[in-house]
């Protein structure tokens, strides 16, 4: 539903946490759920050339823009009913946009 993005992102970001760089995590350096390579792709630079410090310094404004572009808009969440938009968005963040869309299609038939 239109205008739900900020409210939903408040919930999503509660679970995504801050900066981490766990050597056991294949995503590597991550901040608020945004990996180094995701940030690099958003900025249109190579992942290898993006300094890890850039991930640490990721602003909330840029984080929100990345989530809107990579998940919210791709899920067409503005067109979904309130509540469904949250579930589809949250699942897309954790499992991918394609998987989230396919699950929704299976549920509604």
Q: Express each pLDDT in 34-51 by its tens digit.
A: 999 999 999 999 999 999
What whole-number percentage of the chain has pLDDT above 70? 99
Checking if the pLDDT of 13 tops 90, the result is yes
What mean pLDDT is reported for the chain?
93
Give the separation between CA 31 and CA 16, rounded to whole angstroms: 8
Q: What is the mean pLDDT of the segment spanning 53-76?
A: 97
Question: What residues have CB less than 8 Å from 85, skipping those under 6 apart?
Answer: 1, 4, 8, 75, 77, 78
CA–chain centroid gap for 14, Å, is: 12
């Amino acid at each position: 539903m239109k205008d739900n993005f900020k409210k939903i992102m408040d919930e999503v970001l509660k679970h995504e946490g801050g900066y981490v760089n766990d050597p056991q995590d294949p995503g590597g350096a991550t901040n608020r759920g945004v990996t180094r390579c995701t940030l690099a792709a958003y900025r249109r630079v190579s992942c290898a050339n993006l300094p890890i410090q850039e991930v640490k310094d990721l602003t909330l404004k840029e984080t929100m823009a990345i989530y809107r572009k990579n998940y919210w808009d791709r899920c067409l969440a503005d067109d979904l009913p309130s509540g469904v938009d949250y579930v589809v968005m949250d699942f897309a963040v954790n499992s991918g946009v394609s998987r989230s869309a396919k699950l929704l299609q299976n549920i509604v038939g």
